[in-house]
Amino acid sequence: MSAFSWAKERYAAVGVDVEAAIAAALAAPISLHCWQGDDVRGFLFGDAELSGGIMATGSHPGRAGNADELRALLTRALALLPGAHKLNLHAIYADTDQKVDLPDLRPEHFAPWVDFARAQGLGLDFNPTCFSHPMAASGLTLSHPDPAVADFWSAHLAASRAIAADFAAKTGQECALNYWFPDGSKEPPADPMGPRERMRARLDAAIKGKLPGVFESLEGKVFGIGAESYTVVTNDFSSLYAATRGIGLTIDMGHYHPTEEAADKLTSLPAQIPGVQLHLSRGVRWDSDHVLTQSDALLAVFDVLCGCGLLPKTRIGLDYFDASVDRAAAWVCGARAARCGLLRGLLTPHAQLRAAEAAGDTTRRLVAREVAVTLPFAAAWQELCDRAGVPVDPWEGLK
């Protein structure tokens, strides 16, 4: 008997269909973040200095210096990744010879990316870039008291919405459009309510009407570098805004207090919002954006997603940047960790655990969870990789 046949029997004994789990794990798209390949610098403004709480650490050789080099890195990574994928672009990754500022970006400035996505069979996601720009130097963007500054960023959001709609139309896949703002201050402000009231009103004015094929979501955060004392769009702000405006919520694994678990957030608002966009990362002591690995926190996220039937309402994406390792390897490691976590979640005997819980048998639930950890996951992962035509160990392809 092969290892996979034995694995199917073992999982079937606890009520899990391995074939269905592998098919579902391969079908769910994982969005690769373009900014890992060039350390969040982009190409629109040359080698601009990072700001807005963004910091990539390390000096490993191989950083992409232009869009062609970034696409080559992505192609190298995609060849080693099983399953469906998307590509998540920030506005500063426009591929154009024109001198253009953020509010003036148009779909044509991303035409090479659309061609790349089509050739690779990828969907495209998008983000306005509200950092590393002179108009964000004060630490405030859309919440700025100066209408001229706020209007600049409102125009950028309008341009970003048009680009996202174009991506959806041209790829035939949904475009997840995520709004994240670095607005905040290093010291406590005298008027903490003012920026939030302005942010709320200007978001209302900017996000008007549903765009075909576009999933819009707002991302909150606890603090940022240079905004340690005050953040305008906190997690409370973003959750309440999403729930009251009917847009999605972005849950970033690194954007909570160290004792909070992102997995626990996933079941808090599903009935109040149209869906969730996940930004998978690994925080070490703080929101440090380490390369994603199969940590307990990650496995807990997929346990909840799969056990509570939330996958259809969740967009899965990566969000980290590590300049201390090979850029393509960082994508491969993180994306495969996410796919492994997804398969583990799908192979967990949720029905058995729920039945024990419903019967009030907490002892059985505890024991069943421990037994589930020992089930032959490796054989199922090997089969998934074989069906996708990628190696279980990607190292030879990365050397």
Catalytic residue among 95, 183, 287, 303: 287
Catalytic residue among 95, 166, 252, 303: 252
Q: Is 279 a catalytic site residue?
A: yes
Which residues share a beta bridge with 279? 252, 317
Catalytic residue among 95, 125, 216, 319: 319
Which residues share a beta bridge with 338? none
Which residues share a beta bridge with 33? 88
Q: Is 133 a catalytic site residue?
A: no
Of 238, 221, 147, 135, residue with least CA distance to 184: 221
Rounded to the nearest angstrom, the gap between the alpha carbon of residue 303 and the centroid of all alpha carbons in its chain is 17
Q: Is 39 a catalytic site residue?
A: no
Catalytic residue among 39, 174, 216, 289: 289
CB environment 59-85: b (16+ within 10 A), e (fewer): eeeebbeebebbbebbebbbebbbbbb
Q: Tell me the torsion sign for CA atoms 96, 98, 101, 105.
A: negative
Q: Which segments of the chain are extended strands (E)? A: 30-33, 85-90, 123-127, 175-179, 184-185, 214-219, 230-231, 248-252, 276-280, 314-318
Backbone angles phi, psi at 188, to 5 degrees: -60, 130
Q: Is 180 a catalytic site residue?
A: yes
Of 110, 106, 114, 128, residue with least CA distance to 170: 114
Of 231, 179, 184, 168, residue with least CA distance to 206: 179
Catalytic residue among 33, 90, 170, 255: 255
Q: Is 33 a catalytic site residue?
A: no
Q: Is 183 a catalytic site residue?
A: no
Backbone angles phi, psi at 31, to 5 degrees: -90, 120
Q: Is 296 a catalytic site residue?
A: no
Q: Is 313 a catalytic site residue?
A: no
Q: Side-chain half-sphere of 147: how many Cα atoms within 13 Å?
A: 0
Catalytic residue among 180, 216, 303, 326: 180
**How far apart, in whole angstroms, are the C-alpha atoms of residue 216 and residue 125?**
10
Q: What is the signed CA dihedral for 10, 14, 19, 25, rounded to 10 degrees?
A: -110
Can you tell me whether residue 276 is helix, strand or coil?
A: strand
Catalytic residue among 279, 326, 381, 383: 279
Catalytic residue among 33, 221, 290, 350: 221
Q: Is 221 a catalytic site residue?
A: yes
Residues catalogued as catalytic: 180, 219, 221, 252, 255, 279, 287, 289, 319
